[in-house]
Amino acid sequence: MSGGSLHLTCFSLRSLPSYLASHILEHLNPILSRPSGLNIVISAIQKILGPTDKIHYKLIPDLLDFLTILELCHRLKLKGAVDEAREPRHEDEEWLQSVQTGKFRQLFIEIVLKYCELDMYRLWTQDPPIPSLATQRLREYFPVSCSEADGHTVASPRLFHSDLSGSEREEIYSRGTKCRRFIYDSIAWADAHGGRGESLATIFQSAEFQTRYPCEVDIGCLRQAVGFYVKVVQDSIDKL
């Protein structure tokens, strides 16, 4: 892991699903009857999460990429089951219907967006702030929103952009707009409420600022959501 990018340059984002199908899903672990590559991905996710709610912020981009690989593999397996007209066992029918609904996909998208928001908030308000990296991540997480704002279109290396529906793109655009608005509003607030010569870092760490602009992401709940998501995907892939 690179602490910022997986650097998966051997294929374009558009060809990612076919790459995963041929390089991960076709190679089964003979003991677990699960693709060996998925075990590595799941292990990486669990390692990044760690045993506590402590966030390894530098690894958030990598975490998002690993979660996306898991999500794409899951969708490919579901599609394969449908294409092959496989009949689920009676006890699995209700369970399979639940993971095939849009609600489970929405959980994945919400997890991704919450981590994006958390990372942006941390980069912008930490002491000292890292505005250059915050700008870079803003473009990676929300490229369409940023390109519309400044007129520059830059392709994002983040894998979750590879397989989005129209409504999902709209939601990502909306969150990107929200993050940009927070940055602008926080600067305006600092100008209005900060003392003469007071740095942004000092202002952003103040209780008054934290009350006015608290982090809206519950880290504990987010961690639980990831754990639930990974467990359901594991079970789903094992059943298909």
Residue 102, pLDDT score: 74
pLDDT (0 to 100) of residue 215: 95
Backbone φ, ψ for residue 229 (5° rounding): -60, -50
Instruction: Report yes or no: 233 and 74 within 8 Å, Cβ to Cβ.
Output: yes
Coil, strand, or helix at residue 158? coil
Residue 2: predicted pLDDT: 45
pTM: predicted TM-score of the whole model, two decimal places: 0.80
pLDDT in tens, 78-97: 766 544 445 545 455 555 55
Instruction: List the structure tokens of 162.
Output: 């590879």
Determine contact, residues 118/222, Cβ cutoff 8 Å.
yes
Q: By CB neighbour count within 10 A (0-12 exposed, 13-18 middle, 19+ buried), where does 205 fall? A: middle
| Cα 147 from chain centroid (whole Å) | 20
Low-confidence ranges of the chain (pLDDT < 70): 1-36, 79-101, 145-154, 240
C-alpha distances in Å from residue 189, one per residue of 98, 117, 193, 197: 45, 19, 6, 15
The residue with tokens 């593999």 is: 73
Q: How high is the pLDDT of residue 212?
A: 96
pLDDT for 106: 92
